[in-house]
Every structure is written in C-alpha cells, then in structure tokens.
Amino acid sequence: MIKDISRENLGVIFITLAFLVAVYALFLNSKYPDQTRLFAPKDALSFIWNNYKKNYIEVESGRTLDRQSGDITTSEGISYSLLRAVYSDDKVTFEKTLTWANQNLKRENDNLFSWLYGKKIDGTYGIITERGGQNTASDADSDIALALIFASERWGDPRYLEQAKNILNDMWKYDVVQIKNVPYLAADDIEYLAKENYVINVSYFSPYAYKIFAKVDPTHNWNDLVDSSYGLLLRSTEDKLDKESSASLPPDWLTISKSSGEIVPNSNDLNTTNTTNYSYDALRVPFRIALDYEWFGDPRAKNYLSRLGFLGNEWKSRKKLASVYLHNGGIVSEKESPAMYAGSFGYFWIMDKASAKEIYDKKIVYLYDIDINDWKTQLSYYDDNWTWFAISLYNGQLPNLAKNYIPYNK
Amino acid sequence: MQNPREKFLQTKVNKILILSAVLLTLIYFYIIAFTFVVSNSIVFYLLIFGEVFHVFQFMTFLYTIWNTEYMPEIKDPNFSQPVDVFITVCGEPVQIVEETIIAAKKMDYPNFKIFILNDGLVASKDNWQEIDELALKHGVTSITRTIPGGAKAGNINHAISKTSAPYITIFDADHVPHTDFLKKTMLYFADEKVAYVQTPQFYKNSDVNIITESAWEQQELFFGPICKGKNRDNSATMCGTNMVLSRLALSEVGGMWEASIAEDLLTGILLHERKYKSVYVPEVLAEGLAPEDFLSYFNQQFRWARGALDVIFKHNIIFRGIFSRKNKTHGLTFKQRLQYMSSVCFFLSGIVVVIDACIPLIYFFTGAVPIVSSTMLLASVFLPYIFLTLLLLEQSTNYSFTFSSLCFSNSGFNIHIKALWAALTNKKSKFEVTSKKAVEGNFIKLVIPQISYIVLVIVGVGYSYFREGFTASFFTNTAWALLNIGIFVPFIYAALPQTKKTELQKVITKVKTISSFQSNVIISGLLIFAALLSKIVFSLQSLRLDESQSLWQTSHSPAKILNLIGQDVHVPLYHFTLYIWRYFLGDSIEVARLLSLIFFLASIVLIYFVGKRAYNSNVGIYASILLAASAFMNWYGSEIRMYTMFVFLVLLSQYLFVSLWKNPSKKVWIGYTLISIIGMYVHYFFSLFIITQVIFYFLNTKIFPEGSFKKFIISGGLVALGFLPWIYYVKSLGSASNSQPGLIQPTTVDLFNTFSQFLFGFQTPDTNTILVSFWPIIVLLVFMFLQKRQKSSPETFYFLLSFIVPVAISFAISIFYKPVFLSRYLIFTAPSLYILVSWMFSTYRPVVARFARFGLVAVMLFTLSLEINNAQTPVKENYKEATAYIERYASEEDVITLSAPFIIFPFLYYYHGNTLITTLPLWDRSVAGPIPPFDEKTLPTEAGKIVSGHSHLWLLLSYDQGYQSKIENYFDEHYQLVQTKSFSEGMLLKEYKLINN
C-alpha cells in the first residue's frame, strides 16, 4: 500500500496535514474563541430585554418578579424595569410597570414606594409588612424618579414629570437626612426618625441623577446631596471601618452618627447580612460613579474611581473578581458573579479601557449567545439587570436622556 | 494547415444545427416583423424587405447545404470517349497559355486533342500571332477566328464547328489542368443524359494580395457547400471553364448561348430545361488565376452580376414555362428553379446592402426609425441568429469563410446596382476577359459610393447628435453604421494601390507568444493594480446588505452558521471560511473583504494558466488583463460574499476539465472531482457549471481519452455523494428564512446588462443604455474574427458553452419557474467571456488585434473609473453615511423606521445611537420565521404603533420590495415631511414631523 503512494503524493499529504495542523494551532491560539462576537450590540440588548420581560415581568399585571427570591417584587426591581424600558423605548412595558407600581407599591400617604411586595405569611399577596416591606428604599425612589424624567423627555408625556416631581419632593421629606445642615441620602424612610445613627447604603448614591433632579426640582438643594455623597463615599472607602485596614473598597452598608456625621464602625445596625463587605450592594458604586463621569465629567467621579485600584490589581493578577470581598480586601467567596463584574466594570471603564474590554469580552458579553439571542444560561434578576446596564454602557447605549435639562456635552 | 485544394470541399454540416438555424430564423423574422411597434412605416417596410431577402437567401442556402454528399452513380468507370480540349485565349500572356498547354498535354487520358481557341485576332490583341506560334511549337491546333461575334461563346461555337469529338473540355487560358482531369470527369458521361461535368474554379494565386485572397474565399463558399449541394437537385452551375460538355447535348441547345455575357450559366440552364443532367465534381482538377487588381476584380464581378441578372430580367429563363403542362418533358424542375433563383439572387444582394446601410442614415438625417423598442429583444434574437448563421457558413465551408470574403460580398453593392441598372435598361455590356496580369494603379473611383457612405455617416452622426443628443437610438444607429463601415473598409483598402505580398509575408507569420518573464511582470502588475484598487477604493466602501448578512451569519457558531445558511439560498463553504478567517484576523470590514480579494487575485493568476492551457500564453495574459481591469470583478473582489471564491473554483475546474482531454492523468481526475465537490459547497450555481461540462462531454466524447465515460460516472457519483448530506440537511430544516430581497423576473435588458456588467461593471441606467446600445459592434467583432483556420477547437466550444449555457439556463428558469437571474450569481461565466474575447482578438490580424485589445481595456478602465466615482452607481449602498446622518440628527424622542425590513442588518452594524429602530412591515426578530409580508390594510395600524410617543420619524427606504411607494405615500399624506435625502441610488431618507403626537 505504502509503495503505491509516490514520494510526491506523500509530500502533498504531508503539506496538507501540516497546513491543517497550523490552522488548528492558530485556531486554538486565536484570541476570539472564548468570546462572543456581537454583530450589533443594540440587537443583543433588545433581545436580552425581550427575554427579561418574558422571564421576570408578568405579562398581565406588569409586575417585576425576583424569581430567585421567592417571586418577591422590590421597588428596586421596578426601578430597573422602568429604566430599561425607557432606554429600550418600550413605552408599553414602561406604562404597565409604572401602573402596577402605582397601584401596589405607592404608599398611601406620600409619593414614595414601599420596597417589598409578595406572598405574605397569610398566603395573600401584598406589601410584606412583616419584613418592613412598607418602608422605602431610597435608591429605588431615586431611580424611579430618574426613569420618569427620562420617560417624560423621550415620550413627551407631562404625567411622568409630574409624578417625578412629587417623588423628589417626598424624598427630601423621608429619604434624606440632615446632619449639621448637610443633606445625606439615607437607606430608607425610617432613618430620619432614628435616635443615634443613620443607616447608609453608599451604593444608593446617584450623583448623576441628583444633578438632573436639581434642574427638575429647584426647590431642594440636590447639589449639596451630590457633595455629601462624594464626601461620604470617599470616607467610607478609605476608612478601615470594622476591619484592621481598608483595601479601599466601598462598603455595602454603613452607619454614621446622627449628630456628627462621623462613621460609626461597629454599630448594631450592621449584622451578618448588612456588612461592610464589597459585594452585592456596593458593586453598584463604581458603576454609578462611572455614569456620573460619563454624563457630566465630574472630576470627583474620576478621583473617587482612581482610589479603587484594588479592583484593577485583582483583575490583572488573577484575571477574575470574587463575588464578595471584605473591606480589607480579603476574599469571602471565590465564586464569581456577573453582577460583580458588571458593577465593577464602571471602574475599569473609566480607569483602564484595556481591562474593561477584557472584562466585557470574557466576563460580560461572553454570557450572551448570539446563536440563541439569549444568555447562555439564564441570569438571575439582579445579574440580568446589571449585565444589561454594563453592556449598554460599553456600547454607548446608556446616555443621559434628560438632555433638555442638562445639555450633554462630553 | 490543410491543403487549400481540399479544405473547402470538406463540407459536412451538422443537421441539428441546420434545423436550429431554420427555427431561429423563423423566430427572428416573426419577432422583427410582427412583435414590434412600427415607428416609421416606410423605414420599417424597407427593413422588412431586406429581411425577407436575407431570410430567402439563408433558407435556400440551408436547403442547399442540407446534404452536400450526393454524387450520381458512376455507370462505367472506364468510359473514355474522345475529347476535344478547348483552351480559350483572348490576349492572355504567352507564358500563361503555354503553361496550360503543357499541362493539358500531360493529361492522363487515352483519347483527346487539344485546340487553342485564339480570339486574339478578332479582339485585336497584340499577341494573337504569338499564340498561334505557341500552338505550333507544342504541336496543338490553333483555331483562330477571323469573324468576330458572340465573345467567348462565339469563339467556342466557332471551334465546335471545326471539331468533332463527342465531348468538349473547356479551359480558360490560365486554367492549368491536373493530369487526372479527364479521368475524373469523363466517367460520368457513361450516363448519356449527362450534358456537362463541372469542376471547381480554383485560384492558385490566392495568396498574392487581399483581392486574390478575397476573390478565392468567395469562391470557396460557392464551390464548396453550394455547388456540392446543388448536385442533389441536378442543378450544378455551369461556370465556363474546367468543365466537360457533351457535344450532342450542346448542339441540341444551339451551342453556347452567345446573346449573354453569362454564356455559361445560361447554357447550363438551357441544358437543364431539356432534362439533361449535370455533375459537379468536388475536386480541384484545374488551377487558375484570380484577378490580381481591383479593376479586374470589379469587372469580373460586374460581368457575373450582369449575366446573372440578365437571366431574370432579360431572358426570364428561370420562370419561363413554370405553368406549362409539358414540364415533365421540358423545363426546369421546381428545385432547379429554386437553385438558380438563389444563385442569381446573390447579385441582387447589393440592393439590400444599400437598404440596410441606409437605415442608420435615414435616422441620422430624419430621426425616422423602423421600430419602437425599449428592450433588448431585437438583440437577443438577432445575435443568436447571426452567430448561428456564421457558424453554419463556417462549418459548411470547413472554416474557410472569412471576414474579407464577407466584406467583398457585401461591399460590392455598387457592382450589383450598376449591373442591375444595365440589365434593366438592357445596356450592352462588353465581355471582358478577366485580366490575368495585375493592372497597377489607384481605383479609388470604383469605391466612391463606399467612401461617400463613410462621409455621410460622419456628417449624420454629428447632425443627429445636435438634433437629439445621446439617445439609445443614436448609439444603436451609430453602431450599425460602424458595422457597415467596418465591412466597407477592407474593400476600400483593396481599391488602393496594392503591394504584392513578399514571400516572407506569405509564410503564415506565427505570432510570437509572450515569454514567461513578460507574463510574470504583467501579472505582478495586475495583482498590484487590483490590490491597490481594493485598498484605496473598494474595501473602504460602505457595508452592503449582502455583506452585512455575511458578517451577521458568521458571527454565530459553526453549527448555527450551517443552520442559517441552510435556510438561506446559499451553501456554507464560504461562510465557514469567512468564520475562520475572522477568527484569525479580526472582525473589521476590511479584513473580511480581504478574503474575497485574495480569491480575486488568485483568479487573476489562474485565468492566465487556463488561457495558456486551452490556447497559448497570449490568450492567457490578455484574459488575465481583462479580469483585472473588469469593474465587475473588482467590485466583487472586495465584497464580503462568496463570488470571487466561486470564480476561483470555477477557474480551477476549467483548468482541470480542459486537462481532462488535453493532458489527462489520474491526478487531474482526482483534482477535478475534488474541486467539483468543493465547488458545489460554494454556490448552488456551480451545478449549472457542472451541467455545462456534462453537455460538453456528450457533444465531444471523441476528444476525451477512452475510459473517460466510466471516470465521469465515478466522478459524478462522488460529487453527488459529496453533496447529498447538504441536501439532506436543508430538507430537514424545512422552512426558508426569507430574509433576502425578493427577485423579479428578468427581461432581455437584464440579460444584456449582465454581459455589459461583466466587461464594464455597474453603471447608471443612462451609461448602461449607451453601453448596450452599442451591441451591433459585437457583430462586427465577430465578423472580424472570421479567418481561415483549422476546425474550431473544442476549447473554444467549451468556453462558449460554459459562458452561454449557465446564463441561458438561469434565464429560462427565471422565466418559467422562479426568478434566480442575478448577474452576480453568473459571475463564474465571466472568465469564460474574458478567455473567449482574448482568444477572438488573438485571431485578428496583428494590427487590428492590438487596436482591439487596447481599445477594450481602455473602455473598461474608463467604465471602472465611472463605477468608482459615480455616487449613483446602482450597486452602491451607502448605509455608512445614511446611518451616520441619522445618528447625528435623530434624537431619542424620535423613531427610525427601516424598509425593507432586512436592511436592519447593515443599519445595525453602523448605528450606535439611542433612537428606537423599527421596521415596516413590523418584524419582531425575537420570533422565529420569515419577515411578515407587507399588507396595505395593516399599514395604518403598524404605522400608528411606530409613531406613538415619538416626535419625528426617520424613514430609511432601500431595496424596494414593491411596496416602498405605498409606505412613502402613507407618511407623506399623514405627516409633515421635513426633509428628503438620498445617499446612494435607491436609498432614500425621509424625515417626518409627527404632528399627531
């Protein structure tokens, strides 16, 4: 048999084999195999949004459900749905979601929203008061107000602006606390009644939104809120808090003294669920601050983000981020989470574009499968939202939609 | 080269071809006469008159050549009755006569006497006495007339009275018989009804100059298929020389007919009338001299014309007795009448030439045209008709029919008209013996009509331009006029003083083929040219719809790509290649286009080798130049589609397929099979190419080595086997995606645009009209290509088939089944066209060839630059700028609507803004399935959904699928139009203010 194959033929076979091996080697070494190539990111965003609606928003009612937490509905979930709907120019979903929220979450005596709705112990559906569900969550109030302002801009509907103004007004009544005449955004509407300390969630701080609110609602001093937010953010990040040192990461939760405004490191208000870790909550800080820089170019934003070099080092040295870090930089859980990448992406986006692209390629958009126009595996409610925001930010799809109030001039 | 004495007599013609020609001629005539709207009826009927004449001529020709092999049976092969050999002399040079006498004496026949029929005395020629002395010297009898009368016929009749053998052979003074002349002719006289036997009038001096050459080439057609065919109907034309007559038969009709200068033709007819038989022996048995100067040629032709026309107008001998009851015993048969009529009609063709030549002139000076035609229907029937006609002429003359004989036959219209005038007025025309010695000088006055025509055309072109500018009629008529001029020019040239061809020139100058170094340099230059053009022009263009789909498709995983392509109208190999390509080299448009460029460049090299293998390196290199200069190829050389890959594989297959008969080996078979399988995965239309190869094989089985059939079966089986999985896969997918623009049924205009695009690229409709209006020039180019040659090569037939068959099949499928006709799908036939054109040019005379090559490339480069620079070039799709414009001016409060919906692909590729994008009809791409069809009823609902909540609408329209204007009208009516902007041909952006909001 071998004799039948002449030398020349053998040569041809070898060259062909060598070529195939070379192609295979190149294929393996290519930087592309572990990355999703989006033909059009806008397309992906709209597909993800459509799937999100199917998975997390009840068609008939318009209620947004957190499927991973016993089908509860949070005001935060509502705010995310509203923001995504207005960014997607999806008026139908926006209207449905808003109507449901106004009917089921809006509190009777003010214009703010109860934070938790779902199946109560008695089996009926409603505000879960046994878990303090009737209280507000100030991030949701602010995000809903922002979404309403955007909607009024995009669709020219004055009803939305009216409601936004009402919310903003009541936020100053219940969500904002004053210390020595300096306003701070508290975590909820019960802090202003607190005796000693205020519970603060720095990941609720949205300076970009306050700048818009300042124009919409000139009766309140929103710009002071911007200043205080940046001040407290910096302090909480640099402070060692309840740890021996700080890795310069923002904490999930924080308490400050009602009288002095100083950080209270070991308050009773912090517990095993509400910690000073950099995780589920605080991951939103880099994103929100990045947005402020993106929209308004606030130098404080960049200055703040420059402090978060820990994240850059983590990525560069380990090519991954953990889902939970202690305030001192210790790792609580090696598990990776999409939301952690998506939120922290804000830091990279402003400070280190190359790493940002890497994270976007390998950790964020990688989750998407263009073949099925959906996530490779379904994401949780929270992951879905933040990954969507991150993809939007990366592709210029997260602009300030209220340009009529503040001209966008980056 | 075959012996010119034999070549033209091998007249085998394919009967299927003849039947096709009959059919095509009838179709052609029907279409031209009955389907067009008549514009100016006078011009129209002039045209129809000409066409009726042509059709009659061509039909009788086809009838004649239907069977050219008939020969009467030989009753007695040893028949050898006494013969008197007459050599008619009337002042010819002594040495010419002497040569004839010597040869005649050497004839191998037991029983003949030679007589010199010296008419020198009565014709007052100086050398009459010398001729008598010459006769004495060679011991032959000289019969010198002293009383004139009857010209040559009188001379012969006079000699008849002085001689007695039962058979008479006549040679003109210059016609030198072969030794076997009598042996090969006399035996037919064993049948006593045979009155005469005619042999060809061969010109041995045909290579002296263009006049002798053309004169002989005209004879070839006549003495080849025509005379041979006439044998069948017992109507061999008597030609006055190189023939044998029966004295008895001749005496029955009173000798040679003296009253006409066409004594031979008439005498022949008289003999046929008396039911005598004639035989044409298709063998050169005597060799004479053609007229060597234009005057002599002119006079000879005039004499023939006058004589022939006398047959009709003076003697009415063809039709006489047609209704007579005695037809059975006396008179011509119907077939004989037909044969004579067709021969005589040739000398009326001058009138038709003038009519046809005048039609453009009439247009130039009055604007009157025969028909109204907005399509290319005329061209689509005329071109096949004329090509088939030429092919038959070529085949029937064994490829001896040439451009110059065509020119001489058509350009001598003034001879015909002069003869007709003389015949009608019954003016006396002198019998002048064709000069056997060149008369030197300038005979420009004989071609004044032809020159006047050129002048009239030049004036007319200018005049009509100022009257109506560049219109389709202007170009078509100019092209027709150019065609006529092209035919007249060689004739005019022949009238100028002729220099004799030197011996060196006579040796067929073998054109030097280009060296491999030269071709390397040229090809390198072409590659650089094409690559640069891509780099600085084509790769920078906006992404087009098809390209965006390629990018979109190859952004998926291999399995999904397979799935998408399976539902599309394509096969997957290109997409897989692009997928891998993008993996390695990145995602940019330029990178993706580079893949196509590589195949384009490879094709430039490969076509050279195909041309070289099939013909020679000259053909290869010019084909390569055509490919590289083609605006069409350059376009697809930088398009993210499979087209250049397709071209490359087809060329590879061409190379191997030609090798299958030229240089077959096991490797070639394996390669051929492999490439066929691969090709099938590059484009469905590769199958059309394979079909062409199969057809070619069955028509040319003989040229393939033995055992090829088995190998083809195995190869075909493997290809089928190799393609089966894909068919199975596609079947299993079921539905089609319908994300492609719909195709519409092609017209003849599309057909010609396709050819035009292959050479001149994509042009605006106006430019295209100019280009295709020049179609009659194709006829001239093909005319010029008619040269003496070996039987046309199988390579040529192959390339012709591979060019025509796929185009024809896809056109037919589009008409009768469903539209699939797209010039880009047929791109693989373009290289065959380049090779054919290159080969055709290579057969021209060197000066003409140089001119043609340079001219074509110059026009191609010019149209290439037009294609590049003209923003309205129809294939340009400027989504890049349209999108950038929208991105810049549309706000988030607005909404963008795209129609047709599939343009969302290129749009999305470029659009990074935040305005909502919708389509019309609404297309929810998260739902699987085809794009919903447009429905006028739901338009208001859909439009309502779109505009709801928005302040402005940006309506981008491209790829009209038949409902674009309805959408436009709807929005125009309901909303306030703010601006309209066009970005490229067929791409329109409209901005509306949505007041209702």
Give the single-character DSSP code of B217: H
Confidence grade of residue B500 (pLDDT, cut at 50, 70, 90): low
Interface-testing mutation among B557, B892, B925, with chain A (most A C-beta atoms within 10 A): B892
What does the DSSP 8-state code read for residue B177?
A: E
Q: Residue B655: how many CB atoms within 10 A of its CB?
A: 21
Q: Which percentage of chain B shows pLDDT scores above 90? A: 54
Residue B503 has pLDDT above 60, yes or no: no
> What per-residue confidence (pLDDT) applies to A410?
34
pLDDT of B431 reads 60
What pLDDT is recorded for position B398?
83
pLDDT greater at residue B503 or residue A101:
A101
Per-residue confidence at B510, pLDDT binned at 50, 70, 90?
low
H-state helical runs in B874-963: 879-889, 904-910, 939-947
Nearest CA to CA, how far is B909 from chain A (Å)? Answer: 6
Residue whose pair of structure tokens reads 């069409």 in the numeric block: B632
Asked if the Cβ–Cβ distance from B580 to A156 is below 8 Å, we say no
Mark the ranges of chain A whose per-residue pLDDT is less than 50.
1-2, 407-410
Helices (H) and strands (E) in chain B, counts: 41, 17
pLDDT at site B325: 67
pLDDT at A225: 96
Q: Specify the range with the lowest mean pLDDT, choosing from B170-174, B241-245, B379-383, B894-898.
A: B379-383
Rounded CA-CA distance B26/B59 in Å is 10
Q: Are B51 and B378 in contact (CB under 8 A)?
A: no
| Residue B785 pLDDT greater than 90, yes or no | no
By C-alpha distance, which of B911, B882, B910 is closest to B980?
Answer: B882
The 10s digit of each residue's pLDDT in B636-670 is 999 999 999 999 999 999 999 999 998 889 999 99
Q: Does B857 touch chain A (CB under 8 A)?
A: no
Locate the DSSP E strands across B704-777: none
- Alpha-carbon distance of B552 to B822, in angstroms, equals 22
Say what the pLDDT of residue B862 is.
95
- Residue B177 above 60 pLDDT? yes
Helix (H), strand (E) at residue B982: strand B976-984
Q: pLDDT tens-digit profile of B871-896?
A: 888 888 999 999 999 999 999 999 99
Using an 8 Å Cβ cutoff, are B148 and B124 in contact?
A: no
Q: CA torsion sign, B329 to B335 to B341 to B343?
A: negative
Closest CA of chain B from A51, distance in Å: 9
Q: List B135's β-bridge partners, or say none.
A: none
Asked if A91 lies within 8 A of B948 by C-beta distance, the reply is yes
Closest chain B C-alpha to A306 CA, distance in angstroms: 28
SS3 letters across A264-315: CCCCCCCCCCCCCCECCCCCHHHHHHHHHHHHHCCHHHHHHHHCCHHHHHHH
How far is the alpha carbon of A84 from chain B, nearest alpha carbon, in Å?
Answer: 12
Is pLDDT of B76 > 50?
yes
Chain A positions in Cβ-Cβ contact with residue B951 (cut-off 8 Å): 156
A155 to chain B: which residues are within 8 Å by CB?
Answer: 893, 949-950
pLDDT given for residue B499 in this prediction? 64
Between CA A288 and CA B247 the distance in angstroms is 123
Kindly report the CA angle at B606 between B605 and B607, in degrees rounded to 5? 95
- Residue of chain B minimizing CA distance to A85: B916
Under 8 Å between Cβ of A127 and A140 = no
pLDDT at residue number B943: 94
Contact predicate A53/A85, CB 8 Å: no
Distance CA A308, CA B261 (A): 116
Residue B710 contacts residue B752 (beta carbons within 8 Å): no
Q: What is the pLDDT of residue B997?
A: 42
Mean pLDDT of B62-84: 89
Whether the CB-CB separation of B743 and B821 falls below 8 Å is answered with yes
> Is the model's pLDDT at B507 over the cut of 60?
no
The per-residue DSSP string of B302-342 comes to HHHHHHHHHHHHTS-TTTTTTT-GGGGTSS--HHHHHHHHH
Query: Are B911 and A42 inside 8 Å of each other by CB?
Result: yes
Distance between CA B133 and CA B162 in Å, rounded?
Answer: 19
CA-based nearest residue in chain A for residue B950: A155
Report how far residue B48's alpha carbon sits from residue B25's, in angstroms, rounded to the nearest whole number: 13
Paired with B113 in beta bridges are: B84
Looking at residue B737, its pLDDT comes to 53
Q: What is the distance in angstroms between the Cα of B372 and the nearest Cα belonging to chain A? A: 51
Judge whether residue B951 has pLDDT over 80. Answer: yes
Residue B179 has pLDDT above 60, yes or no: yes
pLDDT at residue number B762 = 92
Query: B484-495: per-residue pLDDT in tens?
Result: 999 999 899 888
Enter the tokens of residue A51.
Answer: 């799937």
Weakest mean pLDDT among B162-166, B318-322, B735-739, B759-763: B735-739
pLDDT confidence bin for B331, thresholds 50/70/90: confident
One-character DSSP codes across A204-240? G--HHHHHHHHHH-TTS-HHHHHHHHHHHHHHHHHS-
Q: Determine the pLDDT at residue A409.
A: 39
Q: Which of B560, B584, B909 sits opposite A371 (nearest CB)?
A: B560
Query: CB distance from B908 to chain A under 8 Å?
Result: yes
Interface check for B580 against chain A (CB to CB < 8 A): the answer is yes
B949 touching A, CB under 8 A? yes
Most confident of the ranges A351-365, B341-355, B361-375: A351-365
Contact A395 B912 (CB under 8 A): yes
* Mean local confidence (pLDDT), B850-866: 94
Lowest mean pLDDT among B140-144, B147-151, B710-714, B934-938: B147-151
Q: What is the pTM of this model?
A: 0.86
CB A290 within 8 A of CB A393: yes
CA distance B994 to B970: 13
d(CA B260, CA B262): 5
B915: which chain A residues are within 8 Å (Cβ-Cβ)?
Answer: 89
Reported confidence tier of residue B435, pLDDT bands at 50, 70, 90: low
pLDDT tens digits, residue range B606-643?
Answer: 999 999 999 999 999 999 999 999 999 999 999 999 99
DSSP letters, B37-65, are EESSHHHHHHHHHHHHHHHHHHHHHHHHH
Strand partners of residue B279: B197
Element (H, E) at B916: strand B916-919
Instruction: Check CB contact under 8 Å for A373 and B926.
Output: yes
